[in-house]
Structure 1
Amino acid sequence: MGDRTTIYDIAKRLNITAATVSRALSNNSKISKKTRELVFKTAEEMNYRQNKLALALKSGKSNNVGVIVPRIDRNIFSAVIRGIEENLHSEGYQVIICQSHDDEKLEIENIDALINAQVDGIIMSLTLETSEKNKAIKRIVKKGIPLIFFDRKKDIEGVSTVTINDFEGGYKATQHLIDQGCKEIAHLAGDFAIEIYEDRYKGYREALSDNGIEFREEFLIHTSSKVEDGQKATRALLKLKERPDAIFSASDFVALGAIQELRAQGIKIPQDFCVVGFSNEPFTKFMELSMSTIDQSPRDMGKIAANVFLEQVTNNDNVKIQKKVVLAPELLIRDSSSRLPIK
């Protein structure tokens, strides 16, 4: 009979009602201990598995939490998932992982699937395309399902967020380049429709301003997070009449492309040109020329996002909890920008 065994099959074998079997499997104290033990033993013998969706519909709790990430092959997202799983698994929750591939249509499909699966909460990082009018996100909030954004977020009433201080990260990266003697610093930026990229840019601008360095429009290039975009943007910067002497990139992958292009053109790093990325992807540490970057503490980000969810579902007063958790970024100085001894 396998997985298709039902409570009716168990009831038939034991010559009791299906309702009694259902109550026994739910450990209902109104059913005698002897009967409960017999039902559990028979269910095991018949390979019976409870329909979790049916239980969720009945109890209003599935013990599943949905996690939506743009792509699982980026270190920040895989590390966040690890942190979420570590803190939720011990509390009896299973994690359902979905990828949006930075496609808002797919993100909406993910949300609908998780709502239909009766998840107890959703923890997500938005796509580059997610619009303010995204009805699926509003549907999560309307249904009262706890929603926590991490990394890429939008400010929505009733939704908690766990991020790092991207402004501070942008400031630290740029200040470090200035401290190395760089005066003409370009910024390879992400899409400003996503707050984290705008905040990193604002930190870059503030550091320039605080050091009396004029911002140059031609030194700002928007890219997607691809290595080839970093190569292309760097080629454009090197063709300028007045070229930069450093790049702060909002993405490690774009920074990798920049380093590849600089080396292809025979430019010495960091002697003649410095580069700092953002995210601390694993490859940055193991490159032949290790890359300076900003660490986002993604595992901690995941653990905290899980804890915010747990606070939401375990508060006795059923009060809506909205938290804005901001972690401090850490500058990791490596070969790609280190001209001076590290203090």
Structure 2
Amino acid sequence: MFPTISNGASEFGGASSVERLIVSKKVDGVIFPISIVTDELLSRVEDLNLPCVILGHLDGIGAEINWIDINNVQAGRRAVKMLLQKGYKKIAFISDGDKDIFNQDRIIGYRRELAANGISFSDRYIIHGIPTVESGMESVLSLVNGENPPDAVICSDDRLALGALRAAQKIGLSVPDVFGIFSFDNTPLTEFAETSITSTDVDTYELGIQAAEILMNQIENPQASLRQVLLSTKIIERESTARK
């Protein structure tokens, strides 16, 4: 039994390498990321009746295929909820791009939690940058120097969050007393920053385990029901939101 995991990276042939594996029939199942999913690839999988699991999801992918993903809508809501509980009132969101589904879902959650608390949404409070420290700095400086500046920011990438922290330090904005910073992914950047940064922990290890379990079950039991799973996240609270 040979399930295969592929990330579809270009150095390994990209999506075409996955298609070659599928067509060769040398594997019993495959796990691949949403980033390489196409209608053609799904058609190949369906035609060959090959068990597979997608890491991630799209609105167009429904009950006809297995997928597993992080519940990013929930994560976005939890980030806003925690900041509101800490007393922050005007919360901005800096993403590392508006194309990725996970960023779109986090912003959906962000907006839903604001609405649930009767807080008006402002387009100016959402900035789409790139995943660099410099982009995080530029975004925060733009926000705080504009009209009605926010008192907290959620960053979809830890490099953006580190940039946000450095911007606050540059202009003398006290973190967390005056300005709160919240991030995602919980990499060492957040833990070891000069002011440690509160972050959502995404359990990619558990994601992999469950993806493998779903695939093995589908291989061993071809008639088993297909599964779509959203994994919850947890918040690791640190200094950047620890208001006194």
Pairing 1:156–2:64 present: no
Q: What is the CA-CA distance between 1:250 and the residue it aligns to?
A: 2.0
Q: Which amino acid aligns with 1:109?
A: S
| Residue of structure 2 aligned with 1:196, choices 76, 82, 102 | 102
What corresponds to 2:236 in structure 1?
332
Partner SS state of residue 172, structure 1: helix
| Residue of structure 2 aligned with 1:319, choices 223, 231, 238 | 223
What corresponds to 1:25 in structure 2?
none
Q: What is the CA-CA distance between 1:291 and the residue it aligns to?
A: 1.2
Say which is worse superposed, 197-206 or 228-237, in terms of deviation: 228-237
Q: Which amino acid aligns with 2:57?
A: K
2:3 and 2:108 mapped to 1: Cα distance?
38
| Residue of structure 2 aligned with 1:234, choices 140, 150, 156 | 140
What corresponds to 2:33 in structure 1?
125
1:134 and 1:263 mapped to 2: Cα distance?
47
Say which is worse superposed, 229-238 or 180-189, in terms of deviation: 229-238
Q: Which amino acid aligns with 2:231?
A: L
TM-score by length of 2: 0.87
Pairing 1:146–2:51 present: yes
Q: What is the CA-CA distance between 1:299 and the residue it aligns to?
A: 0.9
Does the CA contact (< 8 Å) of 1:292 and 1:334 recur in 2? yes
What corresponds to 2:15 in structure 1?
108
Q: What runs of 5+ residues in structure 1 fail to find an aligned partner?
A: 1-60, 69-97
Residue-by-residue CA offset, 1:129-157 (whole Å, 9 max, x unaligned): x67x542343233322222122x322424
CA change 1:100–1:206 in 2 (3 A) is farther
| Residue of structure 2 aligned with 1:246, choices 143, 152, 156 | 152
Q: CA RMSD for the aligned pairs?
A: 2.4
CA change 1:108–1:246 in 2 (3 A) is same
Residue-by-residue CA offset, 1:109-133 (whole Å, 9 max, x unaligned): 3423433562322222233xx67x5
Q: What runs of 5+ residues in structure 2 fail to find an aligned partner?
A: none
Pairing 1:99–2:5 present: no
What corresponds to 1:294 in structure 2?
200
What corresponds to 1:3 in structure 2?
none
| Residue of structure 1 aligned with 2:162, choices 252, 256, 259 | 256
What corresponds to 1:48 in structure 2?
none
Pairing 1:66–2:2 present: no
What corresponds to 1:206 in structure 2?
112
CA change 1:137–1:251 in 2 (3 A) is farther
Does the CA contact (< 8 Å) of 1:292 and 1:333 recur in 2? yes
Q: What is the CA-CA distance between 1:193 and the residue it aligns to?
A: 3.9
Q: What is the CA-CA distance between 1:218 and the residue it aligns to?
A: 0.5
Q: Which amino acid aligns with 1:288?
A: E
Residue-by-residue CA offset, 1:62-110 (whole Å, 9 max, x unaligned): x241221xxxxxxxxxxxxxxxxxxxxxxxxxxxxx5359xxxx64234
1:252 and 1:174 mapped to 2: Cα distance?
17
Aligned residues: 241
1:145 and 1:256 mapped to 2: Cα distance?
43
CA change 1:123–1:238 in 2 (3 A) is same
CA change 1:120–1:232 in 2 (3 A) is farther
| Residue of structure 1 aligned with 2:92, choices 167, 186, 196 | 186
Residue-by-residue CA offset, 1:184-224 (whole Å, 9 max, x unaligned): 11011354443322221111112212222211110111223
Does the CA contact (< 8 Å) of 2:155 and 2:182 recur in 1? yes
Say which is worse superposed, 284-293 or 191-200, in terms of deviation: 191-200
Does the CA contact (< 8 Å) of 1:111 and 1:137 recur in 2? no
Partner SS state of residue 153, structure 1: coil
1:325 and 1:99 mapped to 2: Cα distance?
24
CA change 1:107–1:134 in 2 (3 A) is farther
Partner SS state of residue 49, structure 2: coil
Greater RCO, 1 or 2 (C-alpha within 8 Å, sep 6+): 2
